[in-house]
Structure 1
Amino acid sequence: MALDKTIHSAFARATGPENVIDDPVRCRAYECDGLTGYRVVPDLVLLPRDAAAVAAAVRVCAEHGVAFVARGAGTGLSGGALPVADGVVISLSRLRRILEIDPVNRRAVIEPGVTNLEITAAAAPHGLYYAPDPSSQQVCTIGGNVAENSGGAHCLKYGFTTNHVLATEVVLPDGSIVTFGGDSPEQAGPDLRGVFVGSEGTLGITTKITVRLLPTPETVRTLLADFPSIGAAGDVVSDIVAAGIVPAAVEMMDTLAIEAAEQAVHAGYTVGVAAALVVELDGPVEECEVQFDQVKRICDRHGCTRLHIAGSAEERAAIWRGRKAAFAAVGRISPDYFVQDGVVPRTRLGEVLDRIAAMGKAAGLRVANVFHAGDGNLHPLVLYNAAAGETERAERLSAQIAELCVELGGSLSGEHGIGTDKACSMPKMFSRDDLAVMQRVRDAFDPDGLCNPGKVLPTPRLCGERPGPYRPHPLEEAGVIERL
């Protein structure tokens, strides 16, 4: 049942009528996030301009029992920002101010609509930067990063979003405003900041974030190495870590991912090679030089067929452009694809990649692999053709890959979140008691279940009738009826 005019008017008063979208065509732009296979058109989209308007909108939701979903840039890949039918989307895209850069205390205060890369750009004149760097960092926003506890290529050395957020101002589901955390990394009492970061928008909406800034490294050394097999590249990763070296990043791409990236950005990768590693070290000059020589020797020992060392900032940027373009670039070699996100122990990388290849072959589908090899965070991309009726097979294979990661001692997600996509797989990783405790925490924040419902935790509705890829009714295919 659509929201009535009284509720529409209440939202208009809360945010200003010019900040309410009720046109179904315009609302359709918010029907999904980066996981485009699942779509729900919201009844309303709200575009508040400040924290007070966000809180006022949430109070209207609480008063009238309206479900709401917070949304940043919509780059998430797990359906975490999927709208709720007859609910509202609260977009934070207009909360875009950088409120403070504090070089003395090495921190920044920003609103949730600021993009990840804008933080570093603002801090750079002070010799500082923001370390977490998702591949979508040019467009993804810090509010979404907080919701998903995003990582990025450099999380091996520097950690995830939670390691860099000092405090977050939050609008709770009753419309009250609180602050979790403070100016220092450690606070007395329960770590509510830690509970909130990574809660995928199910506990409230962040409206202001204080993040740590780090000094720009003295030097950075980057190499791109080709290998005749995935196994050889995986052995290099293990040997680097065993040598006591902690690179800033270790990334791996397979043949399909390299082919797609080269078609898209021409970064200088070798098309047709079985695997490529991007290894980056940063820190003091002397330390980097010694460790970089060790890394080169390890690569040679495992049959490296080409070793390209970035000789300039431009060459380093080209190498990273190839890696960070991989997800979007896969669209050049497949009409449709699912991006999966799971974690396995580093020692089982070879095993899991062999199993994924076998599963893809059995399903008759190709799987491209690009991932954070240093911490075992996989991003298999299941390629399929929806027009050829391959959607259900691809969806099933994607879920099986996530659950395989759990079977091998890992987890369902490293940084993309559970969202809608993997909620039904949660019992594969957590016991009934574990899930009950999570639900109790969620209920403590949101007793009425209005804040991003249907995400993360499995429910009978979600797992029995969850929103999925649109499948036309037989009468529609016959031309008797049409979809509106």
Structure 2
Amino acid sequence: MILKNPFSTRSDRWQPIIKAFTKALGAQNVIRRKDELLTYECDGLAAYRQRPALVVLPRTTEEVAQAVQICREYQLPWVARGAGTGLSGGALPVEEGVLIVTAKMKRILNVDLANQRVVVQPGVINNWVTQAVSGAGFYYAPDPSSQIICSIGGNIAENSGGVHCLKYGVTTNHVLGLKIVTPQGEIIDVGGCVPEMPGYDLTGLFVGSEGTLGIATEITLRILKTPEAICVLLADFESIEAAGGAVADIISAGIIPAGMEMMDNLSINAVEDVVATGCYPRDAGAILLVELDGLEVEVSGNKQRVAQLCRQNGARQITSASDGETRLKLWKGRKAAFAAAGHMSPNYFVQDGVIPRTKLVQVLGEIEALSRESGFAIANVFHAGDGNLHPLILYDQAVPGAFEQVEKVGEEILRLCVEAGGSLSGEHGIGADKNCSMPRMFNEVDLETMQYVRAVFNPDGLANPGKLFPTPRTCGEAANQRPQGEFKGASLF
């Protein structure tokens, strides 16, 4: 979906705006040339594009506040962007709007090992946090597949997860406090330096708000001690059904792995073509990766139990690794799955839905039926332990109408997830991609209540408009649900 370009920033209206940003941030931190703006016209959901009118790159909390204040003064819509790796169009620019990019805010401000916390700016890359503390025996648990390039600010906005979310939770479980610039340009602090603070959980409210409530400029993260022992098992099965049975039995046995991931045959062959791990049998119907961690005696016992449960469900071969180098090799293919999809097809569209573990086999069967009916191959890579699916729909954008058909397939997958008792998103967020599907999961009162919350923080509707919630201009279903202007927050639709 290519949106039209914004009006020219050469117009008389833009001259005082550009002058104000230049004075506040410096000319080198204000991007206005069309060729340079092309870099920022989409995030990881490259099918949706919109060139911003202007891009600004603040370096401090105060400069972020100044940028937001200028936008408010001139009533300019704005969108915050980190590394641009999001997959739901959450950082898609807004027509005639400003993109506030936090990429230059990449300092680790404080490392407090004694209290197991780190304070970072939003532009810090996810993997840098673990690198900063690993020498002292600590790590940062949330680990999206894009962790070597995605930023903490984006992780906060989307409440990102990763391989280890099964045992350790997603981003919100590891954020102690935030310094925030509100959409009104004010600087506030929420949360603190301890896990439980009295009063409303504003930190929990902000994490996952997708840039609609402000911009986090300093983030206090919780870090964990590196486990005494870690073991990864890779089991291959003749079918996804058999691997799904192993997942259910492992959880039923009371074992909570640090991570448990599954890949189907299409994904297996894609990653072997690209990264050639040599670990993933090309003839397998599915592989299951199970990571166990904890005390040595606990890991040793669980390793034997997991292997036994996998064999009972038909595992053909089980490989295990306890040393760091071999563990990384076993995980390499899973971490490269999205990139490998680009070698299978000119384009792919990744969805992100959640289902109960008990519905895993059923929903995957329905997705396979969708693939046959639509004619689009679908590769399945997912967090099997918590039912977070990432089906990759393969297509060729050069074929007229292909993307529109793929969008419909994606919407059908989300419908299957919600009807199975799941969710529209596990970690990628709603953004511009899934906002029209929100009425599938939330009723009119739910959506209205959330809009009231948004209106408190974002009364002018300038912060990331058109994202997260149904927008009548693009969502016919949502437009028919409620007359615009019914309540004060209606301008935020």
Q: TM-score range by the shorter chain?
A: over 0.9
The aligned counterpart of 1:458 is 470
Compared CA separation, residues 31 and 464, structure 1 to 2 (3 A): farther
Equivalent AA in structure 1 for residue 167 of structure 2? K
The aligned counterpart of 1:123 is 133
Cα pair 1:454 1:462 within 8 Å, conserved: no
The aligned counterpart of 1:447 is 459
For residues 465 and 451 of structure 1, the distance between their equivalents in structure 2, rounded to whole angstroms, comes to 24
For residues 201 and 324 of structure 1, the distance between their equivalents in structure 2, rounded to whole angstroms, comes to 26
Runs of 4+ in structure 1 deviating by more than 4 angstroms, as ranges, are none
Are 2:38 and 1:33 aligned?
no
The aligned counterpart of 1:357 is 368
Give 1:163-202 correspondences, 5 Å limit. Answer: 163-202=173-212
The aligned counterpart of 1:404 is 416
Identity %: 55
Residues 416-425 or 392-401, more deviating: 392-401
The aligned counterpart of 1:113 is 123
- State the shift of 1:388 in Å: 2.2
Residues 301-310 or 72-81, more deviating: 301-310
Are 2:259 and 1:249 aligned?
yes
For residues 383 and 431 of structure 1, the distance between their equivalents in structure 2, rounded to whole angstroms, comes to 32
SS of the aligned residue for 1:93 comes to coil
- State the shift of 1:17 in Å: 1.3
Are 2:100 and 1:87 aligned?
no
Are 2:213 and 1:203 aligned?
yes
| 1:54-92 deviation digits (Å, cap 9, x = unpaired) | 110000001110011000000000000000011011100
Are 2:314 and 1:271 aligned?
no
The aligned counterpart of 1:291 is 302
Structure 2: which 5+ runs fail to align? 1-6, 479-493
| 1:254-308 deviation digits (Å, cap 9, x = unpaired) | 0111111111111221113110000010000001101110000001111111211
Query: How many residue pairs end up in the alignment?
Result: 466
- Choose which of 313, 316, 323 in structure 2 pairs with 1:305: 316
Give 1:64-79 correspondences, 5 Å limit. Answer: 64-79=74-89
Compared CA separation, residues 291 and 465, structure 1 to 2 (3 A): closer
The aligned counterpart of 2:485 is none
Equivalent AA in structure 2 for residue 309 of structure 1? S
For residues 91 and 474 of structure 2, the distance between their equivalents in structure 1, rounded to whole angstroms, comes to 15
Give 1:384-395 correspondences, 5 Å limit. Answer: 384-389=395-400, 390-395=402-407
Residues 88-97 or 7-16, more deviating: 7-16
Are 2:410 and 1:425 aligned?
no
SS of the aligned residue for 1:35 comes to coil
For residues 357 and 23 of structure 2, the distance between their equivalents in structure 1, rounded to whole angstroms, comes to 53
Equivalent AA in structure 2 for residue 170 of structure 1? I
- State the shift of 1:462 in Å: 3.0
Aligned-residue CA RMSD in angstroms?
A: 1.2
| 1:188-233 deviation digits (Å, cap 9, x = unpaired) | 1111111000001110001000000100000101011100110100
- Choose which of 8, 13, 28 in structure 2 pairs with 1:18: 28
Equivalent AA in structure 1 for residue 398 of structure 2? A
Residues 19-28 or 266-275, more deviating: 266-275
The aligned counterpart of 2:488 is none
Give 1:228-239 correspondences, 5 Å limit. Answer: 228-239=238-249
Are 2:307 and 1:335 aligned?
no
SS of the aligned residue for 1:461 comes to coil
Residues 32-41 or 181-190, more deviating: 181-190
| 1:316-342 deviation digits (Å, cap 9, x = unpaired) | 101111101001110111111100000
Cα pair 2:230 2:322 within 8 Å, conserved: no
Are 2:344 and 1:324 aligned?
no
For residues 118 and 386 of structure 1, the distance between their equivalents in structure 2, rounded to whole angstroms, comes to 35
The aligned counterpart of 1:473 is none
Equivalent AA in structure 2 for residue 164 of structure 1? H
Residues 307-316 or 185-194, more deviating: 307-316
Question: How high is the TM-score relative to the length of structure 1?
Answer: 0.95
| 1:406-448 deviation digits (Å, cap 9, x = unpaired) | 0110000000000000000000000000000011000110011
Equivalent AA in structure 2 for residue 86 of structure 1? E
Equivalent AA in structure 2 for residue 361 of structure 1? R
For residues 310 and 283 of structure 1, the distance between their equivalents in structure 2, rounded to whole angstroms, comes to 15
For residues 272 and 76 of structure 1, the distance between their equivalents in structure 2, rounded to whole angstroms, comes to 32
- State the shift of 1:369 in Å: 0.2
For residues 465 and 33 of structure 1, the distance between their equivalents in structure 2, rounded to whole angstroms, comes to 26
For residues 369 and 185 of structure 1, the distance between their equivalents in structure 2, rounded to whole angstroms, comes to 36
For residues 23 and 62 of structure 2, the distance between their equivalents in structure 1, rounded to whole angstroms, comes to 12
The aligned counterpart of 1:282 is 293
For residues 101 and 220 of structure 1, the distance between their equivalents in structure 2, rounded to whole angstroms, comes to 25
The aligned counterpart of 1:474 is none
For residues 472 and 115 of structure 2, the distance between their equivalents in structure 1, rounded to whole angstroms, comes to 48
Compared CA separation, residues 157 and 352, structure 1 to 2 (3 A): same
Equivalent AA in structure 1 for residue 336 of structure 2? A
Cα pair 1:172 1:178 within 8 Å, conserved: yes
SS of the aligned residue for 1:379 comes to strand
| 1:368-391 deviation digits (Å, cap 9, x = unpaired) | 000000000000001111112322
Residues 120-129 or 155-164, more deviating: 120-129
Equivalent AA in structure 1 for residue 351 of structure 2? Q
| 1:1-43 deviation digits (Å, cap 9, x = unpaired) | 4451011111111211110000011001000000000000001
SS of the aligned residue for 2:475 comes to helix
For residues 403 and 320 of structure 2, the distance between their equivalents in structure 1, rounded to whole angstroms, comes to 41
For residues 280 and 80 of structure 2, the distance between their equivalents in structure 1, rounded to whole angstroms, comes to 38
For residues 118 and 474 of structure 2, the distance between their equivalents in structure 1, rounded to whole angstroms, comes to 38
- Choose which of 126, 147, 171 in structure 2 pairs with 1:161: 171
SS of the aligned residue for 2:473 comes to helix
SS of the aligned residue for 1:462 comes to coil
Are 2:235 and 1:212 aligned?
no
Structure 1: which 5+ runs fail to align? 467-484
For residues 398 and 29 of structure 1, the distance between their equivalents in structure 2, rounded to whole angstroms, comes to 26
Equivalent AA in structure 2 for residue 395 of structure 1? E
Cα pair 1:232 1:302 within 8 Å, conserved: yes
- Choose which of 334, 339, 347 in structure 1 pairs with 2:358: 347
Cα pair 1:15 1:54 within 8 Å, conserved: no
- State the shift of 1:355 in Å: 0.2
The aligned counterpart of 1:480 is none
